[in-house]
């Protein structure tokens, strides 16, 4: 494998790469390699995800609050029939 040094990366691009790496719980280097691979070697085998990031953050604040309220109500209520 080749090692490269890339200079003069615009601040906004570097920030976006860092944010993407953090969101995917990967290093910036792994993120850059993934972006380059997907851009220049589309036939290459994709790097499998090992998390649930595609399912996170898809609810609105209102939907999340509603879910939390329902869960809280469900766990606060004890059904005596469950304990027989």
Task: Answer yes or no: is 5 within a domain.
Answer: no
Q: Which residue has the higher pLDDT, 83 or 17?
A: 17
| Residue 55 in tokens | 């399912």
The whole-number average pLDDT for the span 64-79 is 83
Task: Answer yes or no: is 4 within a domain.
Answer: no
Task: Answer yes or no: is 2 within a domain.
Answer: no
Task: Answer yes or no: is 44 within a domain.
Answer: yes
* 8 Å CB contact between 28 and 36: no
- Tens-digit pLDDT profile for residues 7-63: 999 999 999 999 999 999 999 999 999 999 888 876 756 677 777 777 777 788 899
Q: How far apart are CA 43 and CA 47, in angstroms?
A: 12
Task: Answer yes or no: is 26 within a domain.
Answer: yes
What is the model's pTM?
0.49
Q: How many separate domains does the chain show?
A: 1
Give the H or E element holding residue 64: helix 61-76
Show the domain range for 65. Answer: 11-83
* Confidence (pLDDT) at 26: 95
Task: Answer yes or no: is 25 within a domain.
Answer: yes
Other beta carbons less than 10 A from residue 71's beta carbon = 10
Task: Answer yes or no: is 60 within a domain.
Answer: yes
């Amino acid at each position: 494998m080749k090692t490269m040094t890339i200079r003069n990366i615009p601040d906004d691009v570097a920030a976006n790469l860092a944010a993407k790496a953090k969101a995917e719980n990967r290093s910036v280097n792994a993120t850059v390699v993934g972006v380059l691979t997907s851009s220049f070697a589309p036939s290459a085998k994709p790097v499998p995800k090992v998390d649930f990031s595609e399912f996170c953050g898809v609810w609105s604040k209102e939907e999340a609050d509603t879910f939390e309220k329902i869960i809280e109500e469900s766990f606060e209520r004890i059904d005596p029939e469950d304990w027989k």
